Amino acid sequence: MIEEYQLDFIRKNLMKYLMEDYLPFPVNKSVCYEWANGLNIKRGGETIIYTGCSYQLAVLGKRFDDVLPSLSKFKGIDRFSSILKVFYKPRDERANRILRNIASILSKKVDFGYLYEDEPYSGTILLELGMLEEFKEYGKKLIDFFNQRKVKKIITVDPHTHYTLLRIKEMLPWDVEVVNYYELLKDIKVRGEGTFVFHDSCLYSRFLGMRDLIRDVVKSSGIVLKEDEMVTGKETSMCCGGPLAPINNEVSEKIAKSRAEALKSVHTKVLLACPFCYANLSSYVEAYDFAEVISVE
């Protein structure tokens, strides 16, 4: 359990990293944009694909949750952070493959650009830790960032980034269209055998109202979903426990184990649509992101 003084330390350092580098952790920025290398996506434009660095940082965020309670005791963290920004490159090849597949599929239907090394983190961690004043401050910085680049439409690829941008639009004046890539998917097919139980993202299902849309997209690809109303129902589906991890990692893990066991009681292979759900559940169940198992016709 995180104490108040530890939360103050986290708040201070998160804002420091975000305001300086548009990243919540001191890592080399290449981890966020290297997935796009070699794809020939144009730079910038009015419509962009925006990862918010969520897929790329999800596994790192999981490690961060493990060390949070002890970080405030670490002496010389500022000097150490400066070194990490240059040399620490925690690449996640699985995340890179997912993002490449999403971009490749979308490129058949949509004209979009990408911001490469300029792409900023969304600010999700501030929102989910309840740091609303800091979230608004960073939100203003993001709005200025996108406005300066004349971005009019943002295509998101994960629920946390999508929800975060919509919350910024609620709190602050911002004339930009935010659309999720699931809303743009057409003529896709599953690769190989496609029977799964689906773990719904709480944000997609409960807060963004996209549960039925996403399930329609999944089923239209040829995937067969195994259902159990007590496990996968709209009102009964459980959270993966991930959002609780920064505050109480032990309870988060207990929730993840419980959710994994429930899912496995329906089917051994779990399909999901959120990098943080994968980070929290994949230790306990055979899990796949939807973007890992599909291709465009």
What pLDDT, in 10s, does the model give residues 116-142?
A: 999 999 999 999 889 999 999 999 999
| Residues 50 and 111 placed together within one structural domain of the fold | yes
| Residues 119 and 191 placed together within one structural domain of the fold | no
| Residues 254 and 175 placed together within one structural domain of the fold | no
Euclidean distance between CA atoms 157 and 36, whole angstroms: 14
| Residues 86 and 150 placed together within one structural domain of the fold | yes
pLDDT-derived band of residue 242, with 50, 70 and 90 as boundaries?
confident
Residue range 158-165: mean pLDDT, rounded: 98
| Residues 169 and 219 placed together within one structural domain of the fold | no
| pLDDT for the residue 139 | 97
What's the chain's average pLDDT? 89
The length of the chain is 297
* pLDDT at residue 3 greater than cutoff 80: no
Pair 178, 152: CB distance under 8 Å: no
Please list, in sequence order, all residues whose beta carbon lies within 8 angstroms of the beta carbon of residue 49, skipping any fewer than 6 positions away: 41, 102, 103, 106, 112, 113, 114, 155, 157, 181
CATH number, domain containing residue 265:
3.40.50
Burial class (CB in 10 A: 0-12, 13-18, 19+), 250: exposed
> Which of 183, 211, 242 is the endpoint of a domain?
183
pLDDT in tens, 178-222: 999 999 998 888 887 799 999 999 999 999 999 999 999 999 999
Q: Which residue has the higher pLDDT, 153 or 64?
A: 153
Q: Which range of residues forms the domain containing residue 113? A: 4-183
Euclidean distance between CA atoms 137 and 11, whole angstroms: 13
| Residues 178 and 196 placed together within one structural domain of the fold | no
- In terms of phi and psi (left: phi > 0; alpha: psi -120 to 50; beta: otherwise), the region of 187 is left
| Residues 40 and 172 placed together within one structural domain of the fold | yes
Distances (CA, A) of 86 to 27, 90, 163: 7, 12, 30
Rounded to 5, what percent of the chain is helix, strand, coil? Answer: 55, 10, 35
Pair 146, 176: CB distance under 8 Å: yes
| Residues 177 and 37 placed together within one structural domain of the fold | yes
| Residues 157 and 201 placed together within one structural domain of the fold | no
pLDDT over 90, % of the chain:
69
pTM (2 d.p.): 0.90
| pLDDT for the residue 83 | 43
pLDDT in tens, 248-283: 888 999 999 999 999 999 999 999 999 999 999 999
pLDDT in tens, 32-89: 999 999 999 999 999 999 999 999 989 776 666 555 555 545 554 555 455 455 445 6
> Which of 124, 152, 183 is the endpoint of a domain?
183
| Residues 141 and 16 placed together within one structural domain of the fold | yes
The number of folded domains in the chain is 2
Cα 160 to chain centroid distance, Å, stands at: 5
Q: Tell the residue number behind the tokens 């639009």, with chain if given.
A: 169
| pLDDT for the residue 80 | 46
Name all contacts of 3-9 with Cβ < 8 Å and 24+ positions apart: 5/72, 6/68, 6/69, 6/71, 6/72, 7/129, 9/71, 9/72
Which strand ranges, in their side-by-side order, compose the sheet holding 224-226?
A: 224-226, 195-198, 269-272, 286-289
Euclidean distance between CA atoms 21 and 288, whole angstroms: 31
Cα 96 to chain centroid distance, Å, stands at: 13
| Residues 24 and 153 placed together within one structural domain of the fold | yes
Token duo for residue 204:
């997609």
pLDDT in tens, 211-236: 999 999 999 999 999 999 999 999 99
| Residues 238 and 286 placed together within one structural domain of the fold | yes
> Which of 149, 183, 217 is the endpoint of a domain?
183
